[in-house]
Amino acid sequence: MRITKPGGDPVDLDTVDLFDHGLYATGDPHAIWAAMRGHAPVHRQTLPDGRGFWSVTRYHDVNDVLRDHTRFTSSQGTLLSILGSTDPAGGKMMAASDPPVHSALREPMGKVLSHSALQEHNPRIRRVVLRMLGPLLDGGVWDIARAAARFPMAFTGTLMGLPESDWPRLAGLTTMAIAPQDPEYRQSDGHGTLAAAHHQLFAYFSEQARNRKRHPSDDLVGFLVRMRAGDRPLKHDEIVYNCYSLLLGANVTTPHAVAGTVLALIEHPDEYRRWRQEPRRTSTAVEEGLRWASPANHFMRHATQDMTLHGVQIKEGDAVVAWLGSANRDEQVFPDPFRFDTARSPNRHVAFGFGPHYCIGAPLARIALRMLFTEIVAAVGEFALAGPVEHLTSNFVAGIKSMPVTARLDHQAAREIATAIAEEGQVAV
């Protein structure tokens, strides 16, 4: 998805199509979102087959929809891809449930994925970071988007105890599940692709869960097998759905935070120079990268009651889509939102959502992104594009599939990373 500052031609809000996956592959929804924030903060779109959804695009409305689970339920599915059907994971998968079921699932999982609990995994995450950067040090053209696509699989796969030989297939299947219309992932039609990806991922995690029941282990899958939601153990399908959700949550978002941030740095070289001069900026710069890239475009809810929002009547059962990418560019909240500012503060972006479903993987993503960019900022003096940027065909993920770059290396820092890679090379991830 391209990111350009709106301000050109007026947008006809009666004909816009935010459902269209192609818009995000070749176009840029920012002009549409800006027009909606300005003139139609609650906007209705009806698809040719009669299915329809409301869009909220302003920051505070997005927060309200995501926060208020009593008026906006997650249990009928949270992605536009499920619009008009019932989510079989409703009430079983944390992401597709409401309190109290949601809280009972989230509380124990939140503990093992907390910032403090993850500290013991930092050395492993660092090994994953170093491995990813290895090819960069060789010089030449490096496709950072394709490298980043493997990055979360490595750290989440390690935490979940999934064999490394399975990682490439799992990374491919999770992308198939969120971008079934993308020509690179599409098999037959989009629905068939989504069904095939789900079938294979559920069968995979079903087998993993059975293994852990036979051979208990202290990885995340083993944890879910032993975990209690309130006073009961999880059922087999609950374990499978939540394994799927954890892997999907990590795999389909984190790569695009990496590629999106690097693209922003190429387009804003002064900001990169400032970051390099002041490496202590890494935390704020990573947050700005998350706001800028907003890897998850939207999350959906369904109204549990009739209500009026900004004078618009919403009926019980209606789908309401909160556009995170729009909220993160709301000019009422973010001064000069189309300026990439590595020192932006405050920066209360909603790239990780808001309210009860706030991303449970945010501590892990932040640790990994900060480690990665600490090394990148030390080793790379400058990035340049070395080929076309290819975007993912998906209305859910604002993704970059391919982005060949060249890097001017800081040789001293690059040598230190190469030495660390050689030392770490002796140790398995």
Give residues in contact with ligand HEM (CB under 6 A). Answer: 66, 74, 78, 94-95, 106, 113, 152, 156, 245-246, 249-250, 253-254, 257, 295-296, 299, 324, 351-353, 357, 359-361, 364-365
Q: Strands 390-391, 232-233: parallel, antiparallel or unpaired by DSSP?
A: unpaired
133 vs 364, which CB is nearer to ligand HEM?
364
DSSP symbol at 238: H
Q: Phi, psi (5° rounding) for residue 342?
A: -70, -10
344 vs 357, which CB is nearer to ligand HEM?
357
**Helix (H/G/I), strand (E/B), else coil: 385:** strand
286 vs 377, which CB is nearer to ligand HEM?
286
Residue nearest to ligand HEM (CB): 361
16 vs 246, which CB is nearer to ligand HEM?
246
Is-contact 121 159, C-beta < 8 A? yes
11 vs 125, which CB is nearer to ligand HEM?
125
DSSP 347-383: ----TT--GGGS-TTHHHHHHHHHHHHHHHHHHEEEE
Q: Cβ of 411: how many Cβ atoms within 10 Å?
A: 12
Q: Would you call the peptide bond into 100 cis, given omega within 30 degrees of 0 as the criterion?
A: yes
Cβ 75 to ligand HEM, closest distance in Å? 11
Cβ 353 to ligand HEM, closest distance in Å? 3
Cβ 363 to ligand HEM, closest distance in Å? 9
Cβ 89 to ligand HEM, closest distance in Å? 11
Cβ 3 to ligand HEM, closest distance in Å? 15
What is the C-alpha separation between 350 and 358, in angstroms, rounded?
Answer: 9
Cβ 94 to ligand HEM, closest distance in Å? 4
360 vs 414, which CB is nearer to ligand HEM?
360
**Helix (H/G/I), strand (E/B), else coil: 53:** strand
Give the bridge partners for 109, in sequence order. Answer: none
